[in-house]
Chains A and B, each alone.
Chain A
Amino acid sequence: MSGYLAYLAKRLGQFVLVVFIGVNIAYVVTHATPIDPVEQSISAVTSFGNTAPEAIEQMRQSLKELYGVGGSWREQYFTFWSRILRADFGPSMSAFPTPVSALIGRALPWTVGLLVVSTLVTWALGNLLGGLAGYYQRSRSFKLMGVVAMGLHPIPYYIVALMLLIVFGFLWPVLPITGGSAMNLPQGWTLAFIGSVLKHSILPALSLILIGVGSWFLGMRSLVSNIVTEDYVQFAELGGVNRRRILGSYVMRNALGPQVTGLAMSLGGIFNGAIITEKVFGYPGVGTLLVDAVYAGDYGLVLGVTTISILGVSAGVLAIDLLYPLFDPRVQVA
């Protein structure tokens, strides 16, 4: 049990380190800029139309704190941290006076939903097919699948999403290519709304799955082709253990641990992909929010999405790490 506690402490330490380094990068980036970001942002917003003077003053205050204009660097640093820990990024400039945190809170469920579902599907499908392909190495159909995976895997998310958009938006328009649900439906737990959400999520999810499956497929295939040469697999074959049992409980089961670790390691990259895919399909998650915030010059929103992303991804990694002992009995003692 003390082994598990040590493992837990180590993982928590890593989580804190990720958040610490991530937020510090954000701090350095925002404070190393040669231009005066506050006045630039204010002028960008005011040029769109007439904004109330007190609103501008409120914005200027929060911008100054976030950008750290005025005061010693130590004061700036701590103000920055306290703002971030309170998730207080001030009011959004592009959607004034809605606070940035509210905008992110509204977008987050969409991203989390899309990401969790497509990642689980991708991971399960890729590992299942890759495991079979590694076990039945002579099968022609799995070899063909390997070729397809090799062709798809290296292409970036954006390109695949764009190609799906072209195919289903212009060549064969059967699926909705933009938005998270039909415009005319009220949001709520109605069948029509849920159906519409699912339908709208097909293309964004598909582009995430298409690329992800290839990567898990290739990784699992090479992992399994190594595991089948292990003594315990050879021994089980000599023992006449049921083939399906060997494939499931001996081969795949032993590949599961490394692949769970792999999931934790690649979560950041998957998140990048989700952000980009959202933008291509106009999906109402944090990705679209981020890109639109850049176009609108909404500094608080950009910084907010960035830090929430760092926190969210590292929390996801932590969650996977904490589940890991379920997949590997050796961690409980070692």
Chain B
Amino acid sequence: MSGPVALHTPTTPVAGAALASDPVLRVNDIQAHFRTQHFGVSREVRAVDGVTFDVRRNEIYGLAGESSSGKTTLIKTIAGAIKPPLQVVGGSVQFSFMPGYPGLHAAPAAEVERVRWRHLSYVMQGSMNVLNPMRRVISTFQDFAWRHLGGSRKQFEERVVAHLARVRLDPAVLRAYPHELSGGMRQRVTIALATICKPDFIIADEPTTALDVIVQKDVLGMIRSIQQEMGSSVLFVTHDMGVHAHLTDRLGIMYGGRLVEEAPTPEIFSRPLHPYTVYLIGSLPRIGDDTPRKSLEGSPPNLADPPTGCRFHPRCPLAMEVCARQVPPMVESLPGHRVACHAVNPGAAA
């Protein structure tokens, strides 16, 4: 079973020019909803409602959006962490290293087990609680990575120690319990954990949010250098536009469970097209600029009862009559720059 599959997935990805445009991840019109029924009231929250994008080999793809934009649900869906009440309603999530299956949620257990951590790893939000408080750090490494790397206990431990040096951690942390480490050290442990198997794809969910600014910068540099060294692809999620500017190659903006704009990161910052992106960029502080920031009117959409048409239209300064009627399609308005907006792409809906 794993024989022919291995052919598709070189164990050491080559960061060559020919391969650079290969998508490692292809997300196609994915829809994931929360369906709940409690005390007789049934609700359907359409947290992710038709998102399409690719992540190429050897790139850091950023996802931005406010807290209810559905970005956390989207990466849960991509990572295959689907538990009731969350359900995948439609669409697919295809990984190059797992051909033939429309996502981890639809793959057999053995396939999921083969892929997890070897090909797909995860850096989670809230480094305080992601390490089991009852286990020494070395045991956590064994739980996650030993079955993929193999070797004797001693060989494995030597490999972990060598890898820890990359994130500038002392081998002594392996004997420690998580509560004995600082927040920054813990986050470095989780980064080392996520990269030790040299995975093809790493999902990073707000990995720096809980850290102070200096540690944050340190951790971001580390993610960048390890990624370049290994040629992995990273899906990096945060609401912090400053972090995106610093780190990501391409950037997707989410609003109300949908992707509204996607472009190379520098272009998003220099030439935002979607009114929501314009607002996001405009709200960033700039040195020497002391004009008051405009805040967006209205509140984020209620995804249990979302606005019709474009979900941004109730708050949009450019809203037209068509916006309330029709969902704007995602159109490549400029080379490599996709936008879903009737004002930017007039007539695209027809």
Taking beta carbons and an 8 Å cutoff, which residues of A are in contact with B? 230-232, 234-242, 245, 249-250, 253-254, 328-330, 333-334
Determine which of B121, B129, B193 lies in contact with A231 in the assembled complex, contact meaning CB atoms within 8 Å: B129
A332 to B: closest C-beta gap in Å: 9
**Is the CB–CB distance between A249 and B144 below 8 Å?**
no
A254 vs B80: C-alpha distance when bound (angstroms): 25
A329 adjacent to B134 (CB under 8 Å): yes
22 sample A-B contacts, Cβ–Cβ < 8 Å, listed by A number: A232-B130, A234-B81, A234-B124, A235-B122, A235-B124, A238-B124, A239-B117, A239-B143, A240-B117, A240-B144, A241-B143, A241-B144, A242-B143, A242-B147, A249-B139, A250-B132, A250-B134, A253-B134, A253-B135, A329-B134, A329-B177, A330-B133
One of B130, B139, B177 near A235 (C-beta < 8 A): B130
Is B180 within 8 A of A236, CB to CB?
no
The CB with the most chain A CB atoms within 10 A, among B121, B134, B180, is that of B134
Q: Is B344 an interface residue (CB 8 A)?
A: no
Q: Mark B131-168, 1 if CB is under 8 A from A, else 0.
A: 11111000100011001000000000000000000000
State whether the Cβ of B170 lies closer than 8 Å to any Cβ in chain A. Answer: no
In the bound complex, do residue B116 and residue A236 qualify as a contact, i.e. CB atoms below 8 Å apart?
no
Q: Which residues of B pack against A, CB within 8 Å?
A: 79-81, 112-113, 115-117, 121-122, 124, 126, 129-135, 139, 143-144, 147, 177, 179-180, 193
| B80 CB contacts on chain A under 8 angstroms | 238
A249 touches B116 (CB 8 A): no
Contact, CB under 8 Å: A254 / B133: yes
CB distance from A254 to the nearest CB of B (A): 6
Contact of A254 among B122, B134, B179, B180 (CB under 8 A): B134
B135, A249: Cβ atoms under 8 Å? yes
Q: A238-B81, A330-B177 are in contact. Are A232 and B132 (CB under 8 A)?
A: yes
**Cα distance, A25 to B129, chains bound together (Å):** 45
On chain A, the residues within 8 Å of B81 by CB distance are: 234, 237-238
Which residues of B have CB within 8 Å of A237? 81
Instruction: Give complex CA distance A234, B79 in Å.
Output: 11
User: B121–A239 contact, CB under 8 A?
Assistant: yes
Closest Cβ neighbor of A334 among chain B residues: B179
Beta-carbon contact of A333 and B180 below 8 Å: yes
User: Would you call B143 and A333 a contact (CB within 8 A)?
Assistant: no
Most buried by A among B80, B112, B130, B177: B130
